[in-house]
Structure 1
């Protein structure tokens, strides 16, 4: 049992000034703390006061990281109770800036780093991790961080942030989570020339050497942490799809950029139908962008259409893509393999003409390029729809396709808008709207919780389809009236519980569990969830 200063300095065990008089005697803490016995509520208020004194979001991010390093329970209690304020600081949009500055704001090591020099010994590297019962691994190679590109080892900010969301949003035990950076180098020359850069300072590993290192990582996880799921995060699109295809049918893994984004986007579209009164099965949907987010969302949309009775080809014909050259049509050359099924017969045309011609009910942006939903684009969507649905997925905020204010103004207040980045409420013509953020935090924590609770052997597309339905069904009429197609982030733990329950049900239906789960799944799931208190 830890006592004295060792206990105070252990972030997982400390209560800091909340240790009672009796505990201070029992654990050798007399004289090591100020007189006052402060409750976790009082500590939380102090933490919030100090955080809010910071002049900008990156300083707040640094403060919160230091709080997590000092007092784990206080950090998570504060985040859970103030989710709408703190989630954007811990994750998007602030995490993008934090990744760019990662080497310069580095304070203390977090997570596990694997480099090409560890080849043949990755399992041994895992042995150095202090916790042995790992259930969730978030891994990136830093090549496509948000819309920011190749950030090398600086991309570790993403797995660290996602792990915090697993704990806060779904109650996965902190000791069961591990962020991992596959640091295989970077082709970002400015990073390699930065004297403070902390990563493997060489050009990126490619080809078979790269693939075999990833494969060794996946195999080592199965040996060292057989109960763990692997969440692939921010890999280059071809690699993201390749790993999902190669490993998705044999180990517990998923890709959040592909499947998490798809589920949260589908949920937003489902909810929009409650506003437009259109049948989901009648929708035509257009994507701007042909990367992993757009491709993955299209595939889940096909599954959703098929669940409504459409055939495979019918479902695909409801989906259209726009790339840099304009409408993706069947006569185009060099179409990405995952986009090929959506290249339909049509005359080539530009973005605005495609909207006028095809009249999509829903427009989804996944470009990573700011301003691509221009005034002309939004006005054209409003011209062909009484209530146009526009979802601008790209983040951080500086990369969003359009802002909420632009979408409402250019559509004369008729748009149903969602975005990957958070926006403040918009007041237009005497009406105020509070568009919700289409944040993957609504999806992946609940998926992870369900897999941990059920010990499902695989993570399947039906789990994400069910998650989208659950998320949409949880949006209240009051939230819809404010212009939101997602629930308040303050309800995210409720969302995660319900998604976890749906995941368990899918796992049982698909015979992916070895033991029958209890009938009262809700209570069973609650018993798994970490509740940070003293």
Structure 2
């Protein structure tokens, strides 16, 4: 009789014989625990020191428990697991050997397998004789990826790498984040979603369609991992600025979770991408023979609500109270409702509403060091009053209220929004959607953005419209006419939808604008001076924010955590960077930035009594860094 005792040891009177039977088919040994076990002798437990030798004698590949891989402790998959709720004895793990080992993306090392490892794990003849380092392997892959001139080809090459060698994929991404982020994320991921049906190879997440209603918990149980910490879910209705892409929106959760691992250090096996497929209203996709989703009009109303409700509670039932559910690219009418409905019962976060707001507020706080004055002394004008625009506006108002002790209603009056019908004013209140009503101030109606700029005279102009080229020359020149250093943020993605380009902003303002965009732009040279545009990229916020929630065991997201994340981001911008006009730090330091943000978020969680991982670590920054997944290869023996 075999059992696990309270200390986590395998016990039993005939354990050696049991191991022999279990490992008889040694070349295809499945993954299981191994390490120092105990054997009952005359009713007493004694340590079994021979367990490893028995395993090696029976042909199993064994990860070295002493492998130096940075912070964290090993889990059952050989990954860092300091983000788990409890730290346990650092067991080792056996993996399939031979040809199967080379086909396992989590454990495959390719040509990096040493001669000793090849001998021990039945790899002789399955690889060329040369043995190289992970660094050389990385260099070769980067060279190959650069040979592709089309961004979508680079995206597909990176996805292929992720599917065959997980650790190499993340090491490549971490070490070359500034070069590869635009490929794995915006803007290239937008094109990837548009063509997802053509480039689809193997599923990288869960697809839950209307056909699975009543069986969603069963579907979740089909996912092989049990310890999930972060879920990114979309219904594909509003992918970036590209509209309804239905089931092909899966590229967004897959990309976001790649960044959760690379930039925030959440281990890959703890991440789950999900697409809720309720159909699509995109006629082009419905007629596309390669479309991979349901060929039906998008479900709405009660049918939609019931499916999402079942999903939310199935997730909570299967993965527990502390799993983070990040809503991604839901249309406005569903995004606000879902966030409001589940924020008190689940650990939920909407990156389009809250993540964008955090990164923009962080950039504005940094920009204030260049233009002087407090947040309350500035006037804000938005083009776009959807989930991003109103989310940013609300967080700015919250920060103003925190700094001035004034009411939220008073602070909102410093912020104006323009939608497709013009300036949002009180006379329009009866026809406004509920999330726009707080921004309907007393004023005469104004029909165009240019007229609004001339009348309101904002110091900060923010674009979240999803419509390209809407910050015209006249608009930028007007901003520059009454601001010495106008702050212009063109946030819409992808690049084609940006309200203006970096070159346009600097040229039309004669180099006076403080500019940042949602998608990346190259530096601009003007009159012998080089201007480096910032990128208000959500990747600055959500990986570190999620890490902070995970390491503290937080059970709910609080507004103070969002404010803390924004302040932490602003503090990472150095004086040297500000002198260059940058209001965001370089992405090459993103893991350190994420650790700082995680520590700030976790500190608020502990302060508010929302953290469950107790006691609180004495140094949250160091603790966050120690919890980050390392992509360095493990040694086998």
Distance 1:351 1:393 in 2: 16
* 1:520 corresponds to: 619
Distance 1:516 1:258 in 2: 32
Question: 3-state SS of the aligned residue for 2:431?
Answer: coil
Where in structure 2 are the equivalents of 1:44-83 lying within 5 Å?
Answer: 44-83=138-177
Is residue 232 of structure 1 aligned with residue 327 of structure 2?
yes
Distance 1:287 1:311 in 2: 21
Distance 2:248 2:465 in 1: 22
The TM-score, its normalising length taken from structure 1, stands at: 0.99
Distance 2:214 2:453 in 1: 52
> Which of the two has greater helix per residue?
1
Distance 2:269 2:96 in 1: 17
Is residue 342 of structure 1 aligned with residue 466 of structure 2?
no
Distance 2:374 2:555 in 1: 35
| Structure 2: 5+ residue stretches without partners | 1-94
Alignment length (residue pairs): 534
CA contact 1:435–1:482 (8 Å) conserved in 2: no
CA contact 2:603–2:620 (8 Å) conserved in 1: no
* 2:395 corresponds to: 300
1:381 corresponds, among 471, 479, 482, to 479
* 1:249 corresponds to: 344
Distance 2:420 2:310 in 1: 37
Is residue 272 of structure 1 aligned with residue 367 of structure 2?
yes
1:277 Cα deviation from its structure 2 partner = 1.4
Where in structure 2 are the equivalents of 1:107-146 lying within 5 Å?
Answer: 107-146=201-240
Is residue 497 of structure 1 aligned with residue 592 of structure 2?
no
- Render the CA deviation track for 1:330-356: whole Å, top value 9, x for unaligned: 112512222212111111223222212
1:297 Cα deviation from its structure 2 partner = 0.8
CA contact 2:348–2:556 (8 Å) conserved in 1: yes
CA contact 1:356–1:384 (8 Å) conserved in 2: no
Distance 1:522 1:411 in 2: 40
Question: 3-state SS of the aligned residue for 1:69?
Answer: helix
Is residue 416 of structure 1 aligned with residue 514 of structure 2?
yes
Is residue 35 of structure 1 aligned with residue 132 of structure 2?
no
Question: 3-state SS of the aligned residue for 1:321?
Answer: strand
- Render the CA deviation track for 1:244-296: whole Å, top value 9, x for unaligned: 10001111111000000000010111111011112222111111011000011
* 1:318 corresponds to: 414
Where in structure 2 are the equivalents of 1:90-169 lying within 5 Å?
Answer: 90-169=184-263
* 2:290 corresponds to: 196
The TM-score, its normalising length taken from structure 2, stands at: 0.83
1:372 Cα deviation from its structure 2 partner = 0.6
* 1:18 corresponds to: 112
Question: 3-state SS of the aligned residue for 1:96?
Answer: helix
Is residue 455 of structure 1 aligned with residue 553 of structure 2?
yes
1:369 Cα deviation from its structure 2 partner = 0.4
Distance 1:215 1:516 in 2: 34
**Structure 1 stretches (4+) deviating beyond 3 angstroms?**
none
1:87 Cα deviation from its structure 2 partner = 0.5
**Greater C-alpha radius of gyration:** 2
Where in structure 2 are the equivalents of 1:369-408 lying within 5 Å?
Answer: 369-408=467-506
Is residue 260 of structure 1 aligned with residue 359 of structure 2?
no
Distance 2:434 2:393 in 1: 13
Distance 1:69 1:505 in 2: 36
Distance 2:625 2:408 in 1: 38
Question: 3-state SS of the aligned residue for 2:555?
Answer: coil
1:45 Cα deviation from its structure 2 partner = 0.7
1:409 Cα deviation from its structure 2 partner = 0.3
1:325 Cα deviation from its structure 2 partner = 2.4
Distance 1:476 1:37 in 2: 42
Distance 2:559 2:543 in 1: 16
| Structure 1: 5+ residue stretches without partners | none
What is the root-mean-square deviation in Å for CA atoms of aligned residues?
A: 0.9
Question: 3-state SS of the aligned residue for 1:308?
Answer: helix
Distance 1:366 1:52 in 2: 32
* 2:269 corresponds to: 175
